[in-house]
Chain A
Amino acid sequence: MTDETLTQFKNELNSFFVLVILNMVFGALAMAFGMQFMIASVMGLVEGEIPLHVLAAAISLAVFGLGLSWVVSSAKVLKGVTGIRREFSEYPGPVPAEVLTGWIVRLMTHYRENRETIRRMTVICALGGCAFLAVGVLNLIQGITWTADANASWIQGLPFIAAGINLAIGLASLLFCGYFRRYSAAWDLRLDETARSETILERTLEQQ
Chain B
Amino acid sequence: MAERRTPYEIYWEILVYCKTPRAFTAIINRCDLNSRTGQDYISFLCAKGYLSRTVEGEKSWYTTTEKAAEYLSLFTELYQKLFDTIPGFRL
Interface residue ranges, A against B (CB under 8 Å): 1-2, 5, 8-9, 11-12, 14-15, 18-19, 22, 97-98, 100-102, 104-105, 108-109, 112-113, 179, 182-183, 185-187, 189-190, 193-194, 197-198, 200-202, 204-205, 208
Q: Is the CB of B82 within 8 A of A194?
A: yes
Q: Tell me the chain B residues, 36-86 only, with Cβ under 8 Å from chain A.
A: 48-50, 67, 70-72, 74-83, 85-86
Q: How many angstroms from the CA of A185 to the CA of B89 in the assembled complex? A: 12
Closest B residue by C-beta to A1:
B80
The B interface, classified by DSSP as helix, strand, loop or mixed, is helix
Q: How many angstroms from the CA of A173 to the CA of B91 in the assembled complex? A: 14
Q: Is the CB of B87 within 8 A of A185?
A: yes
Interface residue ranges, B against A (CB under 8 Å): 1, 4-6, 8-9, 11-13, 16, 48-50, 67, 70-72, 74-83, 85-91
The A interface, classified by DSSP as helix, strand, loop or mixed, is helix
- Chain A proximity of B16: nearest CB distance (Å): 5
Q: Is the CB of B85 within 8 A of A201?
A: no
Return chain B residues, CB-CB under 8 Å to A98. 16, 72, 76
- Chain A proximity of B25: nearest CB distance (Å): 20
Q: Is the CB of A19 within 8 A of B78?
A: no
Q: Is the CB of B80 within 8 A of A12?
A: no
Q: Is the CB of A198 within 8 A of B6?
A: yes
| With contact pairs A15-B91, A109-B5 given, residues A2 and B71 touching in the complex (Cβ less than 8 Å) | no
Q: How many angstroms from the CA of A56 to the CA of B67 in the assembled complex? A: 69
Q: Is the CB of B74 within 8 A of A200?
A: yes
